[in-house]
């Protein structure tokens, strides 16, 4: 039996974190879709999926993340993937569901990226 643990942290402005653990597959993707639906239309511009606890992702799970990415792309938002386990990271690399530049190995790596983006905005470069 497939199990998905899903936790959404309270939003920090337009930044939203979603923690996934277990398996994101044909039995569990609908749970994620329902949880994400309000976030995709509430002003969220950066949606971070922390996948440190995700052991497995199927094509159905990838579709859920891709749909979130497509919804945020429509209003210049981004989906970022944090700490995927090696098998899950390999799936992302193979199917290119999320651009490799949006996949981060650690919180520090993501923070450095976000800091650089904010500096560019502050300097008028973006």
Express each pLDDT in 101-122 by its tens digit.
677 777 777 767 766 766 676 6
Q: Which two tokens stand for residue 101?
A: 């530049």
Q: How far is residue 69's CA from residue 47's CA, in Å, rounded to a whole number? A: 8
Q: How confident is the model at residue 123 (pLDDT cuts 50, 70, 90)?
A: confident
**Which domain does 76 fall in, by range?**
4-122
Per-residue pLDDT at 50: 95
- Please tell me which of 31-35, 63-67, 95-99 the model is most confident about, judged by mean pLDDT: 31-35
CATH of the domain at 68: 3.30.750.24
Residues 37-85 pLDDT 10s: 998 887 788 999 999 999 999 988 988 998 998 999 888 888 998 999 9
Q: What total of structural domains would you count in the chain?
A: 1
Per-residue pLDDT at 29: 94
Q: Write the secondary structure of 49-78 as one string of H (helix), E (strand) and C (coil).
A: EEEEEEEEECHHHHHHHHHHHHHHHCCCCE
Per-residue pLDDT at 76: 86
Give the global pTM.
0.79
Per-residue pLDDT at 42: 74
Strand partners, 88: none
What's the angle, vertex CA 31, arms to CA 113 and CA 51, rounded to 5? 30
């Amino acid at each position: 039996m497939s199990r998905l643990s899903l936790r959404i942290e309270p939003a920090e402005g337009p930044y939203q974190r979603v923690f996934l653990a277990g398996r994101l597959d044909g039995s569990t993707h609908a749970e994620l879709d329902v949880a994400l639906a309000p976030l995709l239309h509430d002003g969220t511009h950066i949606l971070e999926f922390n996948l440190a606890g995700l052991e497995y992702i199927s094509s159905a799970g990838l579709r859920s993340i891709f749909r979130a990415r497509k919804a945020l792309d429509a209003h210049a938002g981004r989906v970022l993937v944090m700490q995927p386990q090696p098998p899950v990271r390999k799936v992302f690399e193979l199917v290119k569901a999320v651009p490799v530049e949006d996949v981060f190995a650690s919180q520090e790596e993501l923070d450095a990226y976000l800091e650089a983006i904010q500096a560019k905005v502050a300097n008028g470069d973006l």
